[in-house]
């Protein structure tokens, strides 16, 4: 869902977005930037602000997340924006996509009012969220855009001319940005899914529900990504595997394999299970901003050794074996001698030790 | 003399068999109340685990059972069942099951489990007969058999459906003791080995085997101190100890304990001592100078002291595990409460209240000292054993309610000795008295052991002394008049009748409730069955995912695993105190803390027992203090018992309940929606309190099911909020409240 608002937004929309930890600024406020405004700015209020492309420094105010925006947008033309800003909360599910430049602030703009700022703005600088997305835990996506004009043809086709720095671009980046944003929001981009997962003992292929402690096992997970309207192999390299029982016992980065079929890629690791028995969860918890979440769990039990899986003869115990064996033999000999060597005089003795 | 063409001897033998058979039948029958009243179900808590493991054993075979790692309890730790269980009970029922099936009797395993304890109580009365006949004579034996068959102290643990270790263990206890006395009397390695064999069975069946392995050495030690060391004692004890210890070490749960823990050290020490004494005796038979005697004696004493100090040193050095907490709590009844609340929290580990002695043993408790006194009068080996057993068991029974079970057999045996002695005296020359036909056989039986005693190689031959003494006694009392006899006999006849009545009444009223089904009487006298537990468990079984994890207090762990077949976090095994404390912490913490714990343990459902509506006092709010205490023991900074008491030190649930109490998850879950049921202010019938007005808000869990009488309430743990709000905020949004707005700017 894309929620585009303007400075005239109603309270209901504010309440609604507040549930997503997004606080839209008051009515009639605009994002103002006296250092980065377009030449077409009307009324001298400097509300038509320019967001530069990503230059890779602290002053950037556009995300460089390739899952959401394509490279052309990130490095392309600046973006024009006129509208209301919002404060982005601390929810970990929120992704800032476009935000205010350090020189900008959000303040009330009225026709009858002079440009006097006599109160501290609610939000200013890079705190101002312009375009922010939230990916819910079930991977539903909602994008908040603080401007309706942002998507207008006028903004799409408009050239950009920064009044202060005199930088000029023939066409704004709005159209490409909007295309990517819509694609991402409606699950055409940045979508990954688990095709299958498999774990087995090394050298075997069968997936078991119970392993033994210290077993060597192989864990495989197959992930594909939706790119350009088709499923392709996922290219991430930071997929991690965890074996958890209350706390992670093993955490290991999975190795991507070269994918024979192009639709998915297998990530493999070989691990030795811990020397602790219990019910373990094999989990791949892959949550990266922009990508849909992967939280794949399979529960296995890790059991202790069976009674016949211990080493049968321990070298350290050989003295004991010898003692036992010699004891048995000598007892047998003693019994035989005792039984067959009875003489009349030993009758009393037998009684005693009977 | 001939009756019906049979010799009196034969008739008395026949009668004995018939009477014993009838006693066994009565013992079995009087335990069937619960089946008749309710149905053939497994009772209580622990039996459900035993039942579950037995089913597993029957289904998967012995080796699978031996190596069973149960991943459906103690989530996520799991439990190595094969190594932490006394397998005797399960193996016994599985063997019976397999034999019956081999004979094409397709009996359900449940029925075998339900009826196993009554069956073994029949065997117990036979074992009691054997033991008592070995110590006194067969008429006392029959009385002892009759007593143990119906004594409520034993019935409490062995009614049909109470499928627990104790059910077979008491039989094994009695039989092991019988064999021990026999071995001691005969001085034969054969009987000693048999003792060891049954001791092994006992080890396999019940943790109470520690009682045997301490009592028998104590007996041997006392005999040595009394100067009664003999080769018979040497042979019996040595063969018993060596074989018994070796065999007991085959049980994985016991393992190396016999050589490494303090509980078993007494037996080992006596074994060493007896070797030394035997050697000394042997040497002394060749040397007879006085100095040498002193030398030998001092050698024995020095080696005894040496062994004792060696034991202390090894314990300090950590080679031998010191006494476990459970045993400390036997010496100091306050110990468990201070250091191991989990043991103290179990009601059957509480010290016994004195009325329960009378309740469980009735007139036997009066006869018990009389019997002990009679034992003191003729101190032969068997009597010494009875005295020691009686003294230790009565101490333990005073310390812990559940050990009443160990006391009951010795009380039955000694009272039987007392009564039979009384009858010996008052009925002896009264052949026309038809009341007690067993006594008729008395004469012949009394002679038997005495003859045996003569032929045995013992020098002391206590039996001969005994019978001659007895003859003297009866000679002495023969002048008693007929009226006195009638008076005394009829008196005791009435006592015995009342005893039987009492036993039957107690059995039927107090001990035959399965506790998973409650019964109450309605105003018109008809029975009303409260079946909330099973209702809830079947709801879980039918309506939740197979892999769901259920959190509840540990009392219900076995039942949930057995009846609902769902994974539980903690159960009655209580092997991991920390895990239980974590559950206690979750229950006693505010919702947000509890929610984190529940998420971490993947809990799907929470089950609480609430008796407020019905007045069922065994509910979780009443157990709550123990949860808090156990949690405090592990998390002293996060859970504090003090915060749950009002400033005046009261434990309350009404208006004056402390905020900590009212915010705890347990309180909220128990009383959630309870006020609404009353349409205003809820009335808690257990604690006789009116609840605070107002709705109890639960955000992190939602009510999933509440049974008919509100005894069991099941809550589902909510998932994390989809859009990242805290569940409290989400709950407020659901209830129509908006999030607080920031203050508007003013112009």
Residue from the list A134, A307, A354 with its beta carbon closest to the beta carbon of B723? A134
Among residues A29, A45, A48, which one has the least CA distance to residue A37?
Answer: A48
Distances (CA, A) of B596 to A253, B720, B727: 27, 10, 12
Residues in chain B with CB shorter than 8 Å from the CB of A282 are none
Percent of chain B with pLDDT over 90: 25
| pLDDT tens digits along B609-634 | 988 888 888 888 888 888 888 888 88
Q: Check residue B46 and give its pLDDT.
A: 86
Q: Check residue A345 and give its pLDDT.
A: 57
Among residues B279, B100, B92, which one has the least CA distance to residue B198?
Answer: B92
How many A-B residue pairs are in contact by the CB < 8 A criterion?
91
Q: Check residue A327 and give its pLDDT.
A: 94
Question: Would you list which residues of chain A are within 8 Å, Cβ to Cβ, of chain B?
Answer: 14-15, 18-21, 23, 26, 91-94, 108, 119, 122, 134, 136-138, 140, 210, 245-246, 277-281, 299, 301-304, 306-307, 351-354
The secondary structure of residue B742, as a DSSP letter, is: P
Residue length of chain B: 747
| pLDDT tens digits along B3-56 | 666 677 888 889 899 999 999 999 999 889 888 888 888 888 888 999 999 999
In the numeric block, the tokens 């009679």 are attached to: B374
Identify the residue among A123, A142, A354 best suited for mutation to test binding to B, counting B beta carbons within 10 A and taking the highest: A354
The distance in angstroms from the start CA to the end CA of chain A is 94
Which region holds residue B704: left if phi is over 0, alpha if psi is between -120 and 50, else beta? alpha
Q: Check residue B97 and give its pLDDT.
A: 93
Fold of A191-303: Coagulation Factor XIII; Chain A, domain 1 (2.70.50)
Min Cα–Cα distance to chain B from A78, Å: 31
Kindly tell me the burial class for residue A258, based on how many C-beta atoms sit within 10 Å of its own C-beta (0-12, 13-18, 19 or more). exposed
Question: Does residue B396 contact residue B403 with C-beta atoms inside 8 Å?
Answer: yes
Paired tokens of A222: 């197959």
Residue from the list A91, A246, A280 with its beta carbon closest to the beta carbon of B724? A91
| Rounded Cα–Cα distance for residues B546 and B540 (Å) | 9
| Rounded Cα–Cα distance for residues A159 and B357 (Å) | 100
The answer to whether A210 contacts B69, with C-beta atoms less than 8 Å apart, is: yes
pLDDT < 70 positions in chain B: 1-6, 288, 325-326, 336, 428-480, 737-747
| pLDDT tens digits along B445-484 | 444 333 333 333 333 334 444 444 444 444 445 546 778 8
CA atoms within 13 A on the CB side of A212: 13
The answer to whether B71 contacts A301, with C-beta atoms less than 8 Å apart, is: yes
Residue from the list B69, B601, B723 with its beta carbon closest to the beta carbon of A93? B723
Is the minimum CB–CB distance between B742 and chain A shorter than 8 Å?
yes
Q: Check residue B687 and give its pLDDT.
A: 84
Min Cα–Cα distance to chain B from A304, Å: 8
Distances (CA, A) of B557 to B554, B564, B608: 5, 10, 12
Residue from the list B78, B235, B729 with its beta carbon closest to the beta carbon of A278? B78
Kindly tell me the burial class for residue B42, based on how many C-beta atoms sit within 10 Å of its own C-beta (0-12, 13-18, 19 or more). buried
Domain chopping of chain A, boundaries: 2-185, 191-303
B313: CB partners within 8 A, 6+ apart: none
Min Cα–Cα distance to chain A from B731, Å: 12
| Rounded Cα–Cα distance for residues B92 and B167 (Å) | 11
Identify the residue among A1, A12, A16, A19 best suited for mutation to test binding to B, counting B beta carbons within 10 A and taking the highest: A19
Is the minimum CB–CB distance between B75 and chain A shorter than 8 Å?
yes
3-state secondary structure of A196: strand
The answer to whether A210 contacts B76, with C-beta atoms less than 8 Å apart, is: no
Min Cα–Cα distance to chain A from B200, Å: 20
Residues in chain A with CB shorter than 8 Å from the CB of B723 are 19-20, 91, 93, 134, 136-137
Among residues B214, B222, B219, B319, which one has the least CA distance to residue B268?
Answer: B214
Min Cα–Cα distance to chain A from B278, Å: 10
The answer to whether B78 contacts A279, with C-beta atoms less than 8 Å apart, is: yes
pLDDT < 50 positions in chain A: 349-354
Q: What is the ipTM of this complex?
A: 0.82
Among residues B630, B583, B573, B636, which one has the least CA distance to residue B608?
Answer: B583
Percent of chain A with pLDDT over 70: 91
Phi, psi at residue B188, to the nearest 5°?
Answer: -115, 140
- Which of B:631-690 have CB within 8 Å of A? none
B601: CB partners within 8 A, 6+ apart: A246, B75, B76, B549, B551, B569, B582
Distances (CA, A) of B4 to A125, A212, B10, B20, B456: 117, 71, 11, 21, 35
- By C-alpha distance, the chain A residue nearest B582 is A246
What Rg value do the Cα atoms of chain A yield, rounded? 36
- By C-alpha distance, the chain A residue nearest B596 is A246
Q: What is the pTM of this model?
A: 0.83
Query: How does strand A294-303 pair with strand A210-212?
Result: parallel
Instruction: Cis check for the bond before B76: say yes or no (omega within 30 of 0).
Output: yes
- Transcribe A93-108 into DSSP letters: TEEEEEE--TTEEEEE
Identify the residue among B63, B65, B69 best suited for mutation to test binding to A, counting A beta carbons within 10 A and taking the highest: B69
């Amino acid at each position: 869902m894309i929620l585009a608002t303007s400075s005239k937004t109603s309270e209901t929309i504010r309440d609604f977005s507040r549930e997503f930890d997004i606080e839209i600024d008051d009515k009639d406020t605009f994002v103002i930037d006296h250092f980065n405004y377009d030449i077409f700015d009307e009324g001298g209020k400097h509300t038509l602000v320019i967001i530069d492309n990503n230059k890779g420094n602290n002053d950037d105010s556009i995300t460089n997340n390739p899952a959401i925006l394509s490279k052309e947008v990130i490095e392309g033309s600046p973006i024009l924006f006129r509208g209301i800003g919002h404060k982005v909360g601390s929810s970990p599910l929120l992704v800032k996509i476009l935000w205010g430049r350090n020189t900008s602030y959000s303040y009330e703009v009225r026709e009858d009012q002079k440009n006097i700022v006599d109160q501290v703005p609610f939000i200013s600088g890079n705190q101002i969220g312009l375009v922010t997305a939230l990916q819910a835990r079930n991977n539903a996506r909602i994008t908040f855009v603080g401007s309706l004009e942002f998507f207008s043809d006028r903004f799409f086709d408009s050239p950009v001319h920064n009044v202060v720095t005199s930088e000029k671009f023939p066409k704004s980046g709005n159209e490409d940005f909007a295309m990517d944003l819509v694609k991402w929001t409606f699950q055409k981009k940045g979508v990954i899914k688990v095709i299958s997962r498999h774990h087995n003992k090394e050298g075997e292929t069968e997936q078991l529900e119970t392993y033994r402690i210290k077993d060597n096992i192989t864990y495989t997970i197959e992930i594909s990504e939706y790119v350009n309207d088709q499923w392709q192999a996922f290219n991430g390299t930071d997929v991690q595997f965890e074996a958890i029982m209350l706390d992670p016992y093993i955490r290991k980065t999975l190795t991507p394999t070269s994918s024979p079929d192009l639709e998915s890629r297998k990530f493999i690791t070989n691990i030795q299970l811990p020397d602790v028995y219990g019910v373990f969860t094999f989990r791949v918890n892959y949550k990266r901003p922009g990508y849909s979440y992967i939280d794949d769990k399979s529960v296995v039990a890790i059991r202790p050794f069976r009674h016949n899986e211990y080493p049968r003869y321990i070298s350290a115990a050989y003295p004991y074996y010898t003692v036992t064996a010699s004891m048995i033999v000598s007892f047998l000999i003693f019994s035989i001698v005792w039984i067959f060597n009875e003489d009349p005089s030993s009758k009393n003795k037998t009684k005693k030790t009977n | 003399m001939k009756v019906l063409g049979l010799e009196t001897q034969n008739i008395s033998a026949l009668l004995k068999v018939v009477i014993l058979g009838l006693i066994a039948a009565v013992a079995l029958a009087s335990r069937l109340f619960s089946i008749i009243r309710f149905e053939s179900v497994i009772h209580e808590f622990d039996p459900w685990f035993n039942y579950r493991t037995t089913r597993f054993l029957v289904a998967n075979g012995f080796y699978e059972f031996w190596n069973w790692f149960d991943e459906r309890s103690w989530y996520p730790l799991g439990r190595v069942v094969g190594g932490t269980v006394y397998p005797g009970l399960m193996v016994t029922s599985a063997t019976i099951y397999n034999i019956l099936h081999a004979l094409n009797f397709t009996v359900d395993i449940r029925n075998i489990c339900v009826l196993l304890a009554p069956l073994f109580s029949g065997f117990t009365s036979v074992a009691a007969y054997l033991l008592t006949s070995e110590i006194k004579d067969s008429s006392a034996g029959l009385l002892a058999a009759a007593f143990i068959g119906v004594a409520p102290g034993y019935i409490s643990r062995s009614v049909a459906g109470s499928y627990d270790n104790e059910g077979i263990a008491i039989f094994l206890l009695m039989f092991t003791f019988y064999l021990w006395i026999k071995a001691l009397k005969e001085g034969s390695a054969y009987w000693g080995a048999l003792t060891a064999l049954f001791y092994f069975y006992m080890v396999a069946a019940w943790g109470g085997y520690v009682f045997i392995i301490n009592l028998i050495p104590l007996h041997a030690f006392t005999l040595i101190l009394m100067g009664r060391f003999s080769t018979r004692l040497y042979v019996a004890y040595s063969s018993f100890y060596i074989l018994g210890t070796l065999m007991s070490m085959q049980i994985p749960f016991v393992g190396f304990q016999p050589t490494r823990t303090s509980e078993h050290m007494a037996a080992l020490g006596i074994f060493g001592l007896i070797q030394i004494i035997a050697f000394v005796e042997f040497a002394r038979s060749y040397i007879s100078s006085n100095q040498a005697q002193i030398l030998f004696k001092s050698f024995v004493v020095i080696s005894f002291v040496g062994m004792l100090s060696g034991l202390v040193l090894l314990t300090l050095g950590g080679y031998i595990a010191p006494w476990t907490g459970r045993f400390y709590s036997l010496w100091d009844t306050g110990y468990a409460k201070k250091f191991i609340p989990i043991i103290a929290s179990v009601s059957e580990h509480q010290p016994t209240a004195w009325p329960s002695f009378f309740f469980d043993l009735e007139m036997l408790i009066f006869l018990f000292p009389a019997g002990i006194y009679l034992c003191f009068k003729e101190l032969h080996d068997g009597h010494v054993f009875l005295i020691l057993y009686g003294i230790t068991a009565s101490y333990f029974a005073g310390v812990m309610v559940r050990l009443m079970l160990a006391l009951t057999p010795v009380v039955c045996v000694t009272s039987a000795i007392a009564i039979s002695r009384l009858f010996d005296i008052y009925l002896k020359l009264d052949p026309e008295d038809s009341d007690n036909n067993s006594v008729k056989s008395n004469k012949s039986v009394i002679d038997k052991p005495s003859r045996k005693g003569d032929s045995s190689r013992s020098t002391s031959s206590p039996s001969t002394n005994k019978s001659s003494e007895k003859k003297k006694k009866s000679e002495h009392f023969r002048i008693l008049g007929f009226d006195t006899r009638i008076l005394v006999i009829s008196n005791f006849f009435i006592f015995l009748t009342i005893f039987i009545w009492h036993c039957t009444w107690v059995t039927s009223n107090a001990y035959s409730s399965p506790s998973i089904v409650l019964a109450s009487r309605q105003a018109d006298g008809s029975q009303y069955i409260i079946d909330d537990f099973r209702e809830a468990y079947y709801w879980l079984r039918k309506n939740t995912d197979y892999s769901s994890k259920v959190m509840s207090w540990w009392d219900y762990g076995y039942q949930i695993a057995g009846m609902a077949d769902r994974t539980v976090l903690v159960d009655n095994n209580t092997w991991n105190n920390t895990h239980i404390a974590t559950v206690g912490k979750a229950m006693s913490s505010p919702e947000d803390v509890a929610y984190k714990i529940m998420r971490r343990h993947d809990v799907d459902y929470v089950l609480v027992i609430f008796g407020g509506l019905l007045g069922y006092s065994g509910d979780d709010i009443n157990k709550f203090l123990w949860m808090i205490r156990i949690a405090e023991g592990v998390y002293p900074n996060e859970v504090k018992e003090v915060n749950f008491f009002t400033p005046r030190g009261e434990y309350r649930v009404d208006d004056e309940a402390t905020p900590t109490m009212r915010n705890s998850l347990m309180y909220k879950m128990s009383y959630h929606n309870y006020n609404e049921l009353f349409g205003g202010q809820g009335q808690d019938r257990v604690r006789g309190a009116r609840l605070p007005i107002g709705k109890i808000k639960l955000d992190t869990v939602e009510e999933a099911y509440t049974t008919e009488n509100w005894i069991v309430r099941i809550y589902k743990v909510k998932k994390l909020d989809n859009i990242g709000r805290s569940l409290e905020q989400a709950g407020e949004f659901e209830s129509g409240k908006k999030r607080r707005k920031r203050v508007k700017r003013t112009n």
